[in-house]
Amino acid sequence: MLIDRYIIRAQLHAFMIVFVSLAGLTFVVDAFTNIEEFIAHAPGAGGLARVLGAYYGYRLISFFDATSPVISLASAMFALSWLERHNELTALLAAGVTRWRIARSALVFAAVVSLLAMANREIVLPRIRENLTRNAQDLRGDAAHPFDARYDHATEILFRGRSAQSATFRIEKPSLRSTQPRPIGSQPTPRTRRDTCSVRSANPPTSIGSSPCKAVGERWCSPGRPRTGSPPVSAS
Q: What are the C-alpha distances in Å from 92 to residues 79, 80, 193?
A: 14, 12, 73
Is-above-0.75 flag for pTM?
no
Q: What is the pLDDT of residue 216?
A: 37
Q: Is 194 in contact with 200 (CB distance < 8 Å)? A: no
Q: How many Å separate Cα 221 from the centre of its chain?
A: 31
Q: Is 220 in contact with 198 (CB distance < 8 Å)? A: no
Q: Is 128 in contact with 61 (CB distance < 8 Å)? A: yes
Give the Cα separation of 57 and 81 in Å (integer): 32
Q: Is 219 in contact with 183 (CB distance < 8 Å)? A: no
Q: What is the pLDDT of residue 87?
A: 84
Partner residues linked to 197 by β-bridges: 171
Partner residues linked to 83 by β-bridges: none
**Banded pLDDT at 26 (limits 50, 70, 90):** very high
Give the Cα separation of 180 and 186 in Å (integer): 12
Evaluate if residue 36 carries a pLDDT over 50: yes
Domain ranges (residues) in the chain: 2-138, 145-221
Q: What is the pLDDT of residue 23?
A: 94
pLDDT 10s digits, 181-202: 655 555 555 554 445 555 554 4
